[in-house]
Amino acid sequence: MSPGAFAYLGGMVLACAALAISRRNPVHSVLWVLVMFFHLAAIYLLLGAEFLAAVQVIIYAGAILVLFLFAIMVLNIRQEEMGPRFSGGWPLALALVLALAVMLLGAWGSLRLPEAGPFGPELLAQKGGHTKALGEVLYTTYLLPFELASLVLLVAIIGAIVLAKKRLK
Amino acid sequence: MMVVALGFALGALLVGYLVRPRRPYPEKLTPYESGNPPVGEPRWRFSVKFYIIAMLFVLFDVEAVYLYPWAVVLERIGLYAFVEMMLFILILLVGFIYAWRKDAFVWD
């Protein structure tokens, strides 16, 4: 990825995130998060992780944000919009964030990258891309977790209906 | 390539902006609502039944995402991958039938 592309995409991600938490109208916040998700997807795409980019767009931008919008619509947020966007605790929050930043910068010197795993760029290129490499492992070695994922989804489907259905048959 | 693409997109918007007529009047600027004048607040508390639809959409969307890498490698793994995906879909079909039987798709 070229530095210019990363500078644009990374900058947009940060700017959209800042806009999302500072907008007073929650619907506007969700729309800024949507713009942020698309820029994140572009970063994944430029890093050669096209499956992750697809998940970012299909699941996060397509489904999770729709859920956020519905949650906003279901809640009564008129009062929320009337009050100030940030409560009085922000100096404390700022101090905590700065402390975390100092800690992370302090830890930067002792950062050691781990040994590269088997799925390096060469193997991915040989397999014909990130999605193919992932699919080959997911549907053979990790067959059981994959099938268990369907059970997790099944539980979530039943749970959603039981919790939110007004008149359950 | 990037410059050409950006230039074309921005150029098309600019030409449209310069060429199109601009004759706004109050009726034209009101939000379109099937020809009726808008009445009341556009946002009120939505019923929770919208939430079920959104939730089910998220879950079946996640299911659909699993089909993407599967479709890419199906040729290489063959029948084995086909059978396991059918099992995966079958388990989720149970959830689908449950949702159907419990009238989760009915607008009540």
Q: What are A5's two structure tokens?
A: 């592309």
* A128-162 confidence digits (pLDDT tens): 888 888 888 888 889 999 999 999 999 999 998 88
Q: What is the value of pTM for the model shown?
A: 0.76
Q: What are A167's two structure tokens?
A: 């008149």
Residues of A in contact with B53 (CB under 8 A): 70
Any chain B CB within 8 A of the CB of A79?
no
Q: Is residue B26 part of a domain?
A: yes
Q: Is residue B59 part of a domain?
A: yes
Subunit contact B72:A132, Cβ cutoff 8 A:
yes
Rg of chain A over Cα atoms, rounded to whole angstroms, equals: 21
pLDDT at site B105: 81
Tokens 């009341």 sit at which residue? B40
Mean per-residue pLDDT, B78-87 = 91
Report the residue of chain B nearest A139, measured CA to CA: B81
Parent domain of B26: 2-101
Q: Is residue A114 part of a domain?
A: no
Distance CA B96, CA B108 (A): 18
Residues of B in contact with A28 (CB under 8 A): none
Distance CA A63, CA A72 (A): 14
Q: Is residue B58 part of a domain?
A: yes
Q: What are A153's two structure tokens?
A: 């989804």
pLDDT at site A84: 67
Side chain identity at residue B55, one-letter code: M
Q: Is residue B44 part of a domain?
A: yes
Subunit contact A140:B72, Cβ cutoff 8 A:
no
Subunit contact B102:A161, Cβ cutoff 8 A:
yes
Q: Least CB-CB distance to A63: which of B46, B58, B104?
A: B58
Q: What are A22's two structure tokens?
A: 């500072």
To the nearest whole angstrom, how far is the Cα of B51 from the nearest Cα of chain A? 6
pLDDT at B29 over 90: no
pLDDT at site A169: 67
pLDDT at site B38: 67
Q: Is residue B108 part of a domain?
A: no
Q: Is residue A23 part of a domain?
A: yes
Q: Is residue B64 part of a domain?
A: yes
Query: What is the band of B86 on the pLDDT scale with cuts at 50, 70, 90?
Result: very high
* B54-64 confidence digits (pLDDT tens): 888 899 999 99
Least confident of A25-29, A93-97, A106-110, B59-63: A25-29
Q: Is residue A71 part of a domain?
A: yes
How many independent structural domains does chain A possess? 1
Side chain identity at residue B6, one-letter code: L
Q: Is residue A92 part of a domain?
A: no
Q: Is residue B106 part of a domain?
A: no
Q: Assign residue A12 the CATH number of its domain.
A: 1.20.120.1200
Q: Assign residue B18 the CATH number of its domain.
A: 1.20.58.1610
pLDDT at site A96: 95
Higher-pLDDT residue of B60 and A75 is B60
Mean per-residue pLDDT, A48-52 = 89
